[in-house]
Amino acid sequence: MLKITFLGTGTSHGVPVIGCDCPTCTSTDPRNHRTRCSILVEQNGASVLVDTSPELRLQAIRAGLKRVDAVLFTHAHADHVFGLDDVRRFNDLQGGALPCYGDSTTLRELRRIFRYAFVPTQVGGGKPRLELRRLVRPSFNLHGLEVRPLRVMHGQLPITAYRFGKSAYVTDASFLPEETVAQLQGLDLLILDALRRRPHATHFNLEQALEVVERLAPRRALFTHLCHDLEHESTNAELPDGIRLAYDGLVVEVAP
């Protein structure tokens, strides 16, 4: 089985939002506490992170994560990469550099944002040891996990979604090109960006996400990258069968 752990399900601000007293942000339901977006994908002993959120350390501790074989990046926005320094611990545990996959724009941005990790200036103190690798299309194999990178649009920015067997992770998307729609057929599980109720220039809102699910017809769908507009239980109550909001710590198993 393929196991997916939702390490974080929040939008870039996280939930609770700093200084906000809304019902979601003040909720005592832990499912309304959302760290920044990331998942862990495990299959046949392989353990792969999708993105390194600013809360990676806390997410790894909460999930009992002891090993990461590779990181797949969707894009280089702050909420998806700012925890990259935390992979030092996996360098120490495992030895060697950690393979980090992304499209050419993402890898260039990682080199710029984390410049200290790639130049021999810092004396003492740890630096993450990273091996940047270009994505291989149409698919490549990571320790037995088949990874299929897919192009999706995040506003005007082309970014990467990933299909793993019968599951797909599509975060930070506002439009799916036709060739990607064709690659997202026959899914058991679709994980999809559904930011909020109001429209947004670079993310699907709830209504658009529901339209995408209807079009792709996966067996089930989980929404992520959620802002505080979407209170967990009351939003779930209005969603059709087979579609739910994800939450931090949720683990799902799907046929590979």
Given the structure tokens 């997916």, which residue do they identify?
4
- Residues present in the chain in total: 256
Q: Is 97 in the site for Zn ion (CB under 5 A)?
A: no
Q: What is the DSSP letter of 71?
A: E
Select from 2-10, 13-21, 118-126, 242-250 the region that touches Zn ion (CB under 5 A).
13-21
Q: Is 228 in the site for Zn ion (CB under 5 A)?
A: yes
Whole-angstrom distance, CA of residue 82 vs CA of residue 86: 9
Q: Minimal distance in Å, beta carbon 77 to Zn ion?
A: 4
Q: Is 20 in the site for Zn ion (CB under 5 A)?
A: yes
Whole-angstrom distance, CA of residue 68 vs CA of residue 172: 23
Q: Minimal distance in Å, beta carbon 25 to Zn ion?
A: 3
For residues 8 and 165, which CB has a smaller minimum distance to Zn ion in the complex? 8
Q: Is 255 in the site for Zn ion (CB under 5 A)?
A: no
Select from 116-124, 127-135, 168-176, 234-242 the region that touches Zn ion (CB under 5 A).
168-176
For residues 65 and 227, which CB has a smaller minimum distance to Zn ion in the complex? 227
Instruction: Annotate 149-189 with three-state secondary structure.
Output: EEEEEECCEEEEEEEECCEEEECCCCECCHHHHHHCCCCCE
Whole-angstrom distance, CA of residue 196 vs CA of residue 24: 12
Binders of Zn ion in range 21-60 (CB under 5 A): 22, 25
Binding site for Zn ion (CB under 5 A): 17, 20, 22, 25, 77, 79, 172, 228
